[in-house]
Amino acid sequence: MSDEGLTVFNGRYELLRRIARGGMADVYLARDASLDRQVAVKVLFPEFANDPSFVERFRREAKAAANLNHPNIVGIYDWGQEQGTYYIVMEYVVGRSMADVMRSTGRLSPDRAAEIASDVAEALSSAHNAGLVHRDIKLGNIIVSDDGQVKVADFGIATALARRTGDNLTHIGSVMGTATYFSPEQAQGKALDGRSDLYSLGVVLYEMIVGKPPFTADTSTAVAVKHVQERPLAPSLLGVSIVESLEAIILKLLAKNPANRYPKAEDLRADLQRYLAGAHRIPTRTGQSPPVRTSERPATGSQVPPAPVAGRPRTGPVATAPPPSGGPPTGPRAQVPAAPGPGPGPPPQYVPPAYYYEEVHRSDGWKRTVLMFFGLVVLVAALGFLGWIFYDSLGLGDNNGPTEPTTPDGAALIEVPDVSGLSYGEADALLRSAGLEPEPSYQVNTGVPENTVFAQSPPGGQRI
């Protein structure tokens, strides 16, 4: 095992220096004497090497991972044991993990984050098609080489570990570090498929763009509970400048129900490539939920406010659909057609599918309330109202009794009903019965019941 002070495995792999330490192994830079090349050797800790059943599973998983041949996957060359010490020989990548990159540079631009996620998705596609689920997709297992190539490490190892512990959350969390990247089904100890890896990749993508993961807590168990029970805040609500299409991709990846995520990694990569190619690059206003722009009805139970009525333009935020009642995502992406006429039309407008609104607006355990805004009438109506006040103040009107204020076209002004404290449905019905067209905007307010109007503008009693 030793040769002139060097640790040598299998008479071939000369361990030069330790370059990393993880929850289950040390990683060494080594020299493959047979091929005269540098390799990385991962040496398992004794607690794993002394478990025969784990060693057998590790051997099988390492063999399966060694059959993966993809430029975005760290290659596995060999494995073995030396005097009771088990090791795995891997491709040595000159570069840094994304965890190191994030510590030194902070959050990435959305485009760069999407490029990295696209490469990871390509690696996952290759592994999933070969029947391998990674189970530990995280920043620390994504390596970016000095020439910019993205590689995913540790295929097979996490699977062997999970089978050894029976997916025990406390044990896995202590070995892998934290439950920051766990999927909800992984946190619950359920059977996993490739969609679990896609959820973890969604956490990675979120963290690269926002600068922090969607869920944090003091313990791995507390983080895991949040993955199961809480909805992530959309990046745009955290002040991040991000386009709607990329935000929709992230939120789809973070769906609690695996059926609402991408079915395959290649589907995710296709969407990321479309985003990077410039499709649907419509900016999202930070601090607000992205607007609804669709001609199709969303999922059952949702509502979409009608298009603005001619002569009654809206002001304020664009109306947003109430949250769907649940169910699998329906409705494909769509584009608003360009206006007819000569010259190029406006850029395509991305229409987030139904799952987007489920993930953004439906928040289990949150008190979601509604802040109502009303569209004002056209400017000429407002001027007409001011003119009527001036006319009446001069005593030039009919002295036979009070007159009802009207707009210049003779229509009576409308008194805005007071809808504060009403439910969304009650407020919407009351306002429309008064001839007004409401524009709801959703805000979180823990002081009032869910789906309740807590403020309105213009206030109740004002005539418009």
The predicted model gives 21-50 an average pLDDT of 90
What is the pairing mode between strands 438-444 and 368-374?
antiparallel
Question: Per-residue confidence at 286, pLDDT binned at 50, 70, 90?
Answer: very low
Do 117 and 182 lie in one domain? The reply is yes
Q: Round to whole Å and give the CA distance between 85 and 80.
A: 8
Query: For residue range 144-199, what is the model confidence (pLDDT) as tens digits?
Result: 999 999 999 988 665 555 554 444 444 444 444 468 999 999 998 888 999 999 99
What is the pairing mode between strands 453-457 and 368-374?
parallel
Do 378 and 264 lie in one domain? The reply is no
Q: Is residue 211 part of a domain?
A: yes
Select the highest-mean-pLDDT range: 127-136, 175-184, 280-289, 315-324.
127-136
Residue scoring higher pLDDT (58 or 17)? 17
CB neighbours of residue 369 within 10 Å = 20
Q: Is residue 445 part of a domain?
A: yes
pLDDT of residue 23: 74
What residue has token string 């309330």?
369
- Choose the final residue of a domain: 253, 276, 299: 276
pLDDT of residue 276: 96
Whether 139 contacts 105, CB under 8 Å:
no
Strands lying side by side in the sheet with 453-457: 438-444, 368-374, 453-457
Q: Is residue 304 part of a domain?
A: no
Do 153 and 270 lie in one domain? The reply is yes
Whether 131 contacts 64, CB under 8 Å:
yes
pLDDT of residue 59: 81
Do 84 and 155 lie in one domain? The reply is no
Residue scoring higher pLDDT (296 or 143)? 143
Query: For residue range 62-101, what is the model confidence (pLDDT) as tens digits?
Result: 888 888 999 999 999 998 988 888 899 999 999 999 999 9
Count of structural domains within the chain: 3
**CA angle (159 as vertex; 157, 161 as ends), nearest 5:** 70
Q: Round to whole Å and give the CA distance between 367 and 448.
A: 7
Three-state DSSP class for residue 43:
strand
Q: Which residues does the annotation mark as catalytic?
A: 136
For residue 56, pLDDT over 60 is answered with yes
Do 166 and 151 lie in one domain? The reply is yes
Do 19 and 121 lie in one domain? The reply is no
78 forms beta bridges with 89
Q: Is residue 385 part of a domain?
A: yes
For residue 306, pLDDT over 50 is answered with no
Do 150 and 185 lie in one domain? The reply is yes
Cα radius of gyration (the chain) = 29
- Choose the final residue of a domain: 36, 68, 91: 91
**CA angle (371 as vertex; 286, 260 as ends), nearest 5:** 60
Q: Round to whole Å and give the CA distance between 232 and 234.
A: 6
Query: For residue range 404-448, what is the model confidence (pLDDT) as tens digits?
Result: 555 555 667 888 888 888 876 677 767 877 778 787 776 666 666
Give the CATH number for residue 186: 1.10.510.10
Do 104 and 237 lie in one domain? The reply is yes
Q: Is residue 212 part of a domain?
A: yes
Whether 193 contacts 262, CB under 8 Å:
no
DSSP state of 141: G
Three-state DSSP class for residue 102:
helix
350, two tokens = 């991305």
Whether 30 contacts 112, CB under 8 Å:
no
**pLDDT > 70 in the chain, percent:** 62
Q: Round to whole Å and give the CA distance between 211 and 240.
A: 10
24 forms beta bridges with none
Q: Round to whole Å and give the CA distance between 297 and 368.
A: 22
Q: Round to whole Å and give the CA distance between 180 and 200.
A: 9
pLDDT of residue 411: 64
Do 192 and 146 lie in one domain? The reply is yes
- Choose the final residue of a domain: 257, 276, 295: 276
Q: How far from chain centre, in Å, is Cα 282?
A: 17
Q: For 297-311, 330-344, 403-417, 419-433, which range has the lowest pLDDT when averaged over its residues? A: 297-311
pLDDT of residue 162: 53
Q: Is residue 233 part of a domain?
A: yes
Do 168 and 244 lie in one domain? The reply is yes
Q: Round to whole Å and give the CA distance between 207 and 209.
A: 5
Strands lying side by side in the sheet with 76-82: 2-3, 6-9, 13-21, 25-32, 37-44, 85-91, 76-82
Do 128 and 250 lie in one domain? The reply is yes
Closest CA to 296 of 352, 229, 367: 352
Q: How far from chain centre, in Å, is Cα 295?
A: 24
Whether 405 contacts 413, CB under 8 Å:
yes
For residue 384, pLDDT over 90 is answered with no
For residue 349, pLDDT over 50 is answered with no
Q: For 78-87, 207-216, 392-401, which range has the lowest pLDDT when averaged over its residues? A: 392-401
pLDDT of residue 414: 84
Do 218 and 106 lie in one domain? The reply is yes
Q: For residue 56, what are the domain limits?
A: 2-91
Q: Is residue 358 part of a domain?
A: no
pLDDT of residue 450: 64
Question: Per-residue confidence at 381, pLDDT binned at 50, 70, 90?
Answer: very low
Instruction: For the chain, give the mean pLDDT.
Output: 74
Closest CA to 196 of 186, 209, 207, 211: 186
Question: Per-residue confidence at 334, pLDDT binned at 50, 70, 90?
Answer: very low
Q: Round to whole Å and give the CA distance between 326 and 358.
A: 7
pLDDT of residue 434: 77
pLDDT of residue 339: 38
Contacts of 138 (CB under 8 A, 6+ apart): 99, 176, 177, 180, 181, 200, 203, 204
Give the CATH number for residue 33: 3.30.200.20
Please return the burial class of 378, using the count of CB atoms within 10 Å of its CB with bins 0-12, 13-18 and 19+.
Answer: middle
399 forms beta bridges with none
For residue 201, pLDDT over 90 is answered with yes
Q: Is residue 351 part of a domain?
A: no
Whether 97 contacts 139, CB under 8 Å:
yes
Q: Give the CA count within 13 Å in the CB-facing half-sphere of 284.
A: 27
For residue 269, pLDDT over 50 is answered with yes
pLDDT of residue 21: 87
Closest CA to 73 of 138, 154, 140, 162: 154
